Structure 1
Amino acid sequence: MIHSYRHRLGLTAGYPMYEELEQRLAAQPTITVPTITLDGDADAVVPATDGKSMAAKFSGERQHRVIPNVGHNLPQEDPKAFATAVWELASKKR
């Protein structure tokens, strides 16, 4: 766990076998598939936003939702809201 936090903060190297994947992810390619982003309005780690600051990372259809009374672990704290968003995307006709 300590290594994970040190790595996230850029204080230590990651695992060599994942280096190429980490570099590809760091490039932050645009997300092109339909997406629903979720914020919990009680998140004390990353405060909820209107989602506009991340909008440029998505080129496909995107919705942003703020879920009331939910903190940082949205799938665990409100599994229904999380599952509903996944279901909406999975059942969408393409």
Structure 2
Amino acid sequence: MDRAAVAFANPDDVVVVLHCYRHRLGYAPSSPPYDQIEKQLAAQPAIKVPAVTLDGLADGNFPATDGSPSARHFSEPRVHHQVPNAGHNLPQEEPSAFASAVLELAHLRSPSGGM
């Protein structure tokens, strides 16, 4: 967390963070140089590789789900987990749960990996 805290020294930090959340929630326009990539991303093509998805149970911005709302975005095997004691920054908040997900993904990708 100390490494992330360095960003708070930037005088534009609050403005940038607020705009980021407003844009993500649809309350602010995107930046014109990124309009084309926004259109491409809006098409949301299926993710065509195995995946492990995670939701933090302590995320105050985006409540955890059982994974079903995003399932349509994946065409290959996918496993979803809810992680206790974590918000939306899982690699820093619960590194062991994140590492376990990476190892689980390696298993999904292996020829003898089940799914």
TM-score for the superposition, normalised by structure 1: 0.80
The residue type paired with residue 22 of structure 1 is E
2:104 to 77, 88, 91: 88
The RMSD of aligned alpha carbons is 2.0
Partner of 1:20: 36
The residue type paired with residue 27 of structure 1 is A
Q: CA deviation at 1:15?
A: 2.9
Give runs of ≥4 in structure 1 deviating > 6 Å: none
2:4 equivalent to 1:4: no
Query: What SS is found at the alignment partner of 2:85?
Result: coil
Uncovered stretches (5+) of structure 1, i.e. residues with no partner: none
Distance 1:5 1:51, change over 3 A: closer
Equivalents in 1 of 2:69, 2:22: separation in Å?
A: 26
Equivalents in 2 of 1:9, 1:53: separation in Å?
A: 16
Moved more, 80-89 or 65-74: 80-89
Uncovered stretches (5+) of structure 2, i.e. residues with no partner: 1-15
- Higher relative contact order, chain-length normalized (CA < 8 Å, sep 6+): 1
Moved more, 1-10 or 25-34: 1-10
The residue type paired with residue 70 of structure 2 is M
Query: What SS is found at the alignment partner of 1:83?
Result: helix
Distance 1:72 1:25, change over 3 A: same
Q: Deviations over 1:31-51 (max 9, x none)?
A: 111011101111111111111
**Quick one: percent identity of the two aligned structures?**
55
Partner of 1:37: 53
